[in-house]
Amino acid sequence: MAILNILEYPDQRLHTVAKPVAEVNEQIKRTAADMLETMYAANGVGLAATQVDIHVRMLVMDTTEERNEPLVLINPEIVWASAEKSLGDEGCLSVPEIYDGVERHVAVHVKAQDEHGQWRTIEATGLQAVCVQHEMDHLMGKLFVEYLSPLKRNRIKTKMLKRSKNKSEA
């Protein structure tokens, strides 16, 4: 397994729309394992393949406090979403140290393949529902900052560019 490089906003590759996974093979299984290792190492609760510059419809997540229930969702699709929505602070491994309010469905049902290629439906609520919606946005080339006002988005972009410049000078 390996820890992968996480792309940071405003990297244009984060806006790439992911393609469906044609076959759950050894390469996909290895990538899922690497993504989980990367997510845990970065103290995240979710990670989309797009964030590690792999543009296939796959995400990993673990929203448990114990960090012992990893989920791999391949070709995920929301098949039901609650009418009720909730506003909550979100952060993102691709936008480190930035948190802001985003409105999401409080519950969703997601149909996806697991790391063995088996189809299953996850009934997600709470943090798990927020996480899966956030990561699926990544697969569509959308980041949570795009839900914010243009002013907030520009401030975040400026901050991230400055952060990147400081990292490269170090």
Placement of tokens 């299953």 in the chain:
120
Find the angle CA(92)-CA(110)-CA(1) to the nearest 5 degrees. 55
- Quick count: other Cβ atoms within 10 Å of Cβ 75? 19
Q: Give pLDDT, residue 16.
A: 98
- Cα gap 39→33, rounded to integer Å: 10
Give tens-digit pLDDT for 69-96: 999 999 999 999 999 999 999 999 999 9
Q: Please say if 65 is a catalytic residue.
A: no
Q: Annotation-wise, does 138 bind a ligand? A: yes
Among 69, 84, 135, 146, which one carries the catalytic annotation? 135
Give tens-digit pLDDT for 12-45: 999 999 999 999 999 999 999 999 999 999 999 9
Rounded alpha-carbon distances, angstroms, from residue 152 to 15, 144, 158: 18, 12, 10
What pTM did the predictor assign?
0.96
Domain 12-169: which CATH class?
A: alpha beta
CB 73 within 8 A of CB 132: yes
